[in-house]
Structure 1
């Protein structure tokens, strides 16, 4: 598995700028064109890892309409496929999810409009820490990371209370509709995952307090990078929460780590990409692994992705589901979901996996 990226050594002399000097990668890229990138963004040490392109077509596809079918055998088969996808891959694509193509396009268009606002207009949403309901910023963890990442982001807490920027016009309304529809899809997936573990369909929802759980709506922007061989949009990481549901524009860049190989994710039209996240690994007692993934860059096109992280209730104590550890040892500590964020920040600052901090023994 790839080790955390370190700063790239080079004899070239790009601008002596740091992430603290760059409040927006988009603005920097627009102003500097094809100029060399700052050395503080060198996150690739020895060129790109080999990519196992032959495995890209093996990423599982779940037909949501079969998962919700009233036909017992069709539903059972879909549940089995869902469990296999979680156990063997930690990522899958969901088709026939019922969210209209029109709404998905509207969300993407409004997300573009937000990132195209002048820098001055976005300053009111400046990042004031992980509990700020609306925050716009850049990189991954700029206050503590040694190397920075080529992306701008908007992060909004949209459940259990809905927050959203008031501009551009119409973004808030479209985002509300989309976030609720994504939440409904995530809820149904969680029911199927619960069944795949041999539990009652509502078991995981009730155990995690999902119906009062945290949802984070993220809009990532990755402008063209003049030196994509040197930089990443996001480093290898896993997600917080139970399930991340992602939609992107037509530009590739998401890679997942499977059997210690990086694989490009090539989404089917209008599908949702679903990642198993940290808390689902914990509650399943390691049966379903949180997927390591990263964002690579290109020098021609702007990539946008809209992941929504769907997690437990903040005050819930999260550990392995009791029914799953009746005949086996628990592999993870039990920790309040709110406290997990503190562990997450410390682990990322130390270039560790947050799940390593939660594992027993």
Structure 2
């Protein structure tokens, strides 16, 4: 029987404690190293990342300046920072502290929440690594804890850490706090697209849309300039591929990476909002006409998620396979 141990790499946290150099499986190709080095050390951003004051944006009388900044961010950047979002700073700090405490626990304790069924079969939820599809796949210098938090009645609490004891309650509270932020931003996007129904984008997610919380742990990396970039209380909002498709390409869904650190660990928490798994992701009909036909194929959300991991393992983007060639 063929040796497929390459499909089950060690956790990066465990690996980082024993090596002085990242193993070759974690290194980007030489030509990409040069490009990343230029991006990280040489070039300055042409302008600051747009920052949106959510309170002003969502005020009853609206705010033209904030709306204009949001439009620019969605069309040019694909991501933006959000202040005045209403999520309490002590809650954010406590949740990050609890997740950091989890990642610092002994490996044996963390493996009780493993994302490997029977130690071999990968599943989305739980603690561990992303799926490894091929032997030459470049791996991320990152361990993660991926949990489905909505719908609430479909949470798999067996994957939710029971220690520290505060973790589950904090994650629930944070999930509830994030919902009005997400809803408000999606309604603001609908206004920018001049859609008749202010909930048109929200409705695309369906009644059974899923929310996933992904905690990323980046151990100190001996050579941070050689590994793939790993994409304060200000929130960073990434538009995402689904919204690029729904807006028929008006909004951008960029690649997100984070830069590792050679001296200390890094933590991040991402909230992913997905449509109902059985619902098709496609351009909103109201945005289409003879002059602006659909630019993307429709795809069921369940198939999109599977394709994302398949193409991600090859350092490709699934959206590039969904674009239609227009004459």
TM-score tier, shorter chain, comes to 0.7 to 0.9
**Residue in 2 that maps onto 1:126:** 114
Tell me: CA distance 1:313–1:131, structure 2 relative to 1, closer, same or farther (3 Å). Answer: farther
Contact 1:67–1:78 (CA<8 Å) still a contact in 2? yes
Report the CA distance between 1:128 and its aligned residue.
Answer: 3.3
Contact 2:7–2:131 (CA<8 Å) still a contact in 1? no
- Scaled by the length of structure 1, what TM-score is found? 0.78
**Residue in 1 that maps onto 2:222:** 226
Aligned residues: 305
Gaps of 5+ in 2: none
Tell me: CA distance 1:21–1:203, structure 2 relative to 1, closer, same or farther (3 Å). Answer: closer
CA offset digits 1:269-321 (Å, max 9, x no partner): 42100001010000000010101222222211111111111121212111000
Gaps of 5+ in 1: 1-17, 235-253, 255-268
Once residues 51 and 249 of structure 2 are traced to their aligned partners in structure 1, the CA distance between those partners, rounded to angstroms, is 22
| 1:156 maps to 2:147 | yes
The alignment yields a C-alpha RMSD, in angstroms, of 2.3
Higher helix share: 2
**Residue in 1 that maps onto 2:308:** 344
Q: Aligned to 1:107, which of 64, 83, 95?
A: 95
Tell me: CA distance 1:208–1:21, structure 2 relative to 1, closer, same or farther (3 Å). Answer: closer
CA offset digits 1:219-263 (Å, max 9, x no partner): 1111111122322254xxxxxxxxxxxxxxxxxxx3xxxxxxxxx
Once residues 311 and 7 of structure 2 are traced to their aligned partners in structure 1, the CA distance between those partners, rounded to angstroms, is 21
More off after superposition, 57-66 vs 97-106: 57-66
Tell me: CA distance 1:26–1:56, structure 2 relative to 1, closer, same or farther (3 Å). Answer: farther
Q: Aligned to 1:319, which of 276, 282, 288?
A: 282
| 1:29 maps to 2:16 | yes
- Scaled by the length of structure 2, what TM-score is found? 0.86
Alignment of 1:1-361 (within 5 A): 22-30=9-17, 32=18, 35-45=20-30, 46-47=33-34, 48-51=36-39, 54-55=44-45, 58-72=48-62, 74=63, 76-128=64-116, 132=123, 134-138=125-129, 140-144=130-134, 146-160=137-151, 161-163=154-156, 164-199=160-195, 200-209=197-206, 211-232=207-228, 234=230, 254=231, 269-327=232-290, 328-361=292-325
